[in-house]
Structure 1
C-alpha cells in the first residue's frame, strides 16, 4: 500500500503530463481529501467552497484527465473508487519509471487469466500461471477497506505469513477485499489460484487440475499428490485462495468442525502453517472460524471483517439524505450486502424517501437478507439454537449466568455454544461490569419472523 503523499505525487505527474500546468490549490485539496475518503460536502465545508463546485472540479478536471491517462472508461473513475484505482495504477506493470520520468501506456487488453504467462525473469522452463476463472469480477465501486488491504499486504508480502484467514458474516465484504488484494499484486506471485469451495471442493481433484494446467516437471500420481503440491509451494511463489471455506464444515454441529470427507484439508492447512518451510501463502475466506484460525500461533493471522465505516457506505450508495441514511446504516449493522438490498427496496416501495422507510416500526427483512440468514441457520447446532431462543425470550443483553439459569445445558455446553456463535459472527458481546451477550438486531428480527 502506498501512502497518500506518494499517491498525490503520482496523480500530479499525470495531470501535468496532460496539460503542462501545476495543480491549483483547490485541485490539490480535493485530491488529498478524496484519497482520505472524504465526500464532496466534507471537502466543501473544510475549505469554504460550494459542494457543487467541488463535484464539478472533480468530474470535469481530475477524473476526466486521470481516466484518460490511466486508460479507464468514462465514469469508471469516481469518488468511491478513487484511491483504489490510483493504487492499482501505481502497482501496475503498465507504468515504468525511467530516469525519474514516468512513461504512461494506454490501457492494454486484459490477458487470458487461465493461460500460462511467460515470466522473463525466470529460466525458459519456469512459467507463471494465474487462474482467476473462479474469482468474482472486480467491483469498481470498491468501498474503503484501505486499512484491511494494508494488513493483507503487510502479512503476506512483508511478513510472508504462510496462511491468513479472512472471516466475517456473509455479505460483509471478505471476497471483495481479497479480490482487490490479488488484483493489486498479480505480478508478485508466480502462481495464483482462486478456488471457490462452494462450486468445487475435492482437494485431490483440485490438485490434479492445478498440475494439469501448470508447466512443471513433476510426475503426478495418486499416492503423493499432496506431497507434490507442497513441493510446488516450496519451488514457486504461490498465492492460493480458498473461498467459502465454511463449505468444508459440518451442518448441525458447532462451528468449524470438518466434514469427514474434508479432513484432508485440515491436515493440509496444518502442514502449510506449522510443518514445512515454503515461500507461498494461502488465504482462507470463510463465514466461520475453524480450529486452525482459532488456535492460531505466530505463523497464522486471522483478519476478521466488521461492517464498513459510515462514510464509505454513504459514498457507495450515492446517498444525499445523509442524516437519514446514517440511521439506516446503523440499523443494518454497516453490512453493505444488506444495505444495497434495502436501498433498492426504498427506491421501489418508498419512492426513494429514506425518512418514510424509517417510520416503519420494525426492521424490514428482504427476501435476499432472509435467504442469506436461512443458509446460516441450517448450519447451527442444537446447542446454539437453544441459546439463540433463550436470548430472544429474555429480550435483553444477558450474562452467561443468566443464560445458564434459563437453559437446560451444562456449563461446558453453554460455553461451547457461546464460543461457536461468536465464531459464526452471530453474537454481539458487550463488556460492562460483566460480559453480556445478545444477537444482532437484523438476525434477531429474522428469528422472530421465522422461528428457529
Structure 2
C-alpha cells in the first residue's frame, strides 16, 4: 500500500462516516503523518496554525478509530496502515497460491504484489478460512510498546512462515536493534493463522525436558481439556507439531549457549536442544519455531540453501525517517544534523534513545557533539554492550581489539599481520563475531561500528 493508496483508504472511511471526502488540510495531515512530520511541520507546509492542524488531526483519528475498532492516533497511524498492508498481502498471496521463493538469508525479501484493488473493508473476515479453535499462550510475550518502520522485515517473516512454511526461523541482531519488538508485532498479525501459539522466554530453568513438558502440557490440555492430570493422554512433541499448525516463539535463545566460547556452543545442560532443532528441521510437520537472540544455534546459521525449511533474518538499523521519529519521541524535535547522529548510532533504537536522553538531560548541542566525532556512551548503553561483549571468547576479544585500533575497514591479510593469531583461529573468530552481529563486513573488509569501537577502546 503506497502513500496514494493509504490516503484513498482513509478517504473511503471518512466519506462513509461523514458523506464528504477529505479536504486539502485533512489530506495534508494524513500525508504529513505518513511522512513522519510533526504537526508544526505540517502546519508550516500548509500555511496554517499548529493548533488548527492538531484539531483536524484529532477529528480524523476519532473517525478512523471508530471505523477500524482500535485506538488510532498520530503516533501509530503509519504502523496501522502497514499492518493492513501485510495482512492484505498475506491473504492475497494465499488466495492466489502465490509462490514466493526469494526470501533472502540475512536480508529483507521481495516487495509484495500489487494489492491496490484489495481493500481491508471488503474483507468480511481476515481469517474466515480458520475453522478450528485457536489456543494461545502469550503470557510471556512483552507488550509491543513503540514500533517503528519494519515493513519489509514483517513481509519477509510473514512470507517465510505463512507461504513458504518454514519450520525454523532465526531472528538475530545486535542488542537493542528491535528483534523482540518485531517478533511481537509479527505474532499479533499472524497468530490467528495457527491453531496453537505460545511464546517462551528462555532462562536458566528451561532444560529441554522442562521445555518439552511445558509445550506438551499446553497442547494436550487444549486438545483434551477433560483429561485427568494424573493420567493425561499425551503424545511426543513432534506428533503435536505434525497434527496441528503451531507457532512456537523462543525469545532470548542465546541463554542456551556458553559465554567465553565461540558463538552457538551449547551449555552442557542444554546440549539436547541440538537434537530438538534438528528434529524440527528434518521431520515433516506443519509448524514453525521462531528463535530470537543475540546468537543462534550453529546448525541454524550453517544453512543458506533456499530449499531448506530454515531461514535466518539479521535485523539492521532503522532508516533516517524512523530514527528522527525516535529522537522526536525523546524530546529532540528541532535539532540540526539529526541524520549524522542517526548514522553514528547506526539506527539502533535502543542506542538512539539512550544518547537522546543523555543529550536532553545535559542540554548538549548535537552540532557541538558531532564536531569532534565524539561518541557518547551513557552508562545504560555501556551496560547493554557489556552484556553482549562479555559472552565473546578471548580470541574474539583480541580480534575486536585489533579492529578498534583501525580507522578504516581492513582485510584478512592486515589482521593476520597486526595480530599474533593463526589464520584458522582468525577465520573462526571472524565467523563467530559475524554470527553475533558484532562486526561489519564490506566486501572482503572488516570493521566495527563507531559505538563498539568507542566501547572497546574504553575497556
Give the corresponding residue for 2:424: 412
CA shift for structure 1 position 87: 4.9
1:61 aligns with 2:68: no
Query: Could you tell me which of 321, 341, 358 is aligned with 1:345?
Result: 358
Indicate how the Cα distance of structure 1 residues 9 and 220 shifts in structure 2: closer, same or farther if over 3 A, else same. farther
CA shift for structure 1 position 43: 8.6
Aligned residue for 1:165, secondary structure, equals: strand
Give the corresponding residue for 1:49: 46
1:77 aligns with 2:73: yes
Aligned residue for 1:398, secondary structure, equals: coil
CA contact (8 A) 1:234 1:278 kept: yes
Query: Could you tell me which of 361, 367, 380 is aligned with 1:355?
Result: 367
Range that drifts further, 330-339 or 26-35: 26-35
1:15 aligns with 2:21: no
1:134 aligns with 2:140: yes
Give the corresponding residue for 2:248: 240
Equivalent-residue separation in structure 1 for 2:48 and 2:155 (angstroms):
31
CA shift for structure 1 position 68: 3.5
Equivalenced residues, count: 413
Equivalent-residue separation in structure 2 for 1:199 and 1:51 (angstroms):
58
CA shift for structure 1 position 324: 2.3
Equivalent-residue separation in structure 2 for 1:364 and 1:233 (angstroms):
48
Equivalent-residue separation in structure 2 for 1:255 and 1:42 (angstroms):
48
Query: Could you tell me which of 192, 196, 201 is aligned with 1:196?
Result: 201
Q: CA RMSD in A?
A: 3.4
Indicate how the Cα distance of structure 1 residues 394 and 21 shifts in structure 2: closer, same or farther if over 3 A, else same. closer
1:303 aligns with 2:303: no
Equivalent-residue separation in structure 1 for 2:48 and 2:340 (angstroms):
23
Range that drifts further, 341-350 or 257-266: 257-266
Give the corresponding residue for 1:258: 266
Following superposition of structure 1 onto structure 2, how do residues 85-164 of structure 1 map, counting pairs within 5 Å?
85-88=80-83, 121-122=131-132, 127-139=133-145, 141-164=146-169
CA shift for structure 1 position 120: 8.5
> How big is each residue's C-alpha offset from its partner over 1:339-374, in whole Å with a ceiling of 9 and x where there is no partner?
1111111111117x4334445663111111111111
Equivalent-residue separation in structure 2 for 1:235 and 1:32 (angstroms):
47
CA contact (8 A) 1:41 1:51 kept: no
> How big is each residue's C-alpha offset from its partner over 1:9-53, in whole Å with a ceiling of 9 and x where there is no partner?
543333223322122355446545645x443589959x9623866
Indicate how the Cα distance of structure 1 residues 184 and 33 shifts in structure 2: closer, same or farther if over 3 A, else same. farther
> How big is each residue's C-alpha offset from its partner over 1:366-391, in whole Å with a ceiling of 9 and x where there is no partner?
11111111111211112111112222
Indicate how the Cα distance of structure 1 residues 289 and 51 shifts in structure 2: closer, same or farther if over 3 A, else same. farther
Query: Could you tell me which of 437, 441, 449 is aligned with 2:446?
Result: 437
The runs of 5 or more residues in structure 1 that have no matched partner are: 105-118
Query: Could you tell me which of 283, 290, 296 is aligned with 1:283?
Result: 290
CA contact (8 A) 2:336 2:366 kept: no
Give the corresponding residue for 2:383: 371
Aligned residue for 2:238, secondary structure, equals: helix
> How big is each residue's C-alpha offset from its partner over 1:260-313, in whole Å with a ceiling of 9 and x where there is no partner?
22122221111111x211111111111124323321132211111110001012
1:422 aligns with 2:417: no
Query: Could you tell me which of 342, 345, 354 is aligned with 1:332?
Result: 345
Give the corresponding residue for 2:93: none
Equivalent-residue separation in structure 2 for 1:368 and 1:415 (angstroms):
32
Query: Could you tell me which of 160, 167, 175 is aligned with 2:172?
Result: 167
CA shift for structure 1 position 206: 2.1
Give the corresponding residue for 2:323: 313
Equivalent-residue separation in structure 2 for 1:390 and 1:183 (angstroms):
43
Indicate how the Cα distance of structure 1 residues 220 and 415 shifts in structure 2: closer, same or farther if over 3 A, else same. farther
Equivalent-residue separation in structure 1 for 2:344 and 2:433 (angstroms):
21
Equivalent-residue separation in structure 1 for 2:179 and 2:412 (angstroms):
30
Aligned residue for 1:185, secondary structure, equals: helix
Aligned residue for 2:67, secondary structure, equals: helix
TM-score, normalisation: structure 2: 0.80
Indicate how the Cα distance of structure 1 residues 238 and 58 shifts in structure 2: closer, same or farther if over 3 A, else same. farther
Give the corresponding residue for 2:102: none
1:448 aligns with 2:446: no
Equivalent-residue separation in structure 1 for 2:165 and 2:54 (angstroms):
43
CA shift for structure 1 position 178: 0.8
Equivalent-residue separation in structure 2 for 1:121 and 1:165 (angstroms):
29
CA shift for structure 1 position 152: 1.0
Give the corresponding residue for 2:96: none
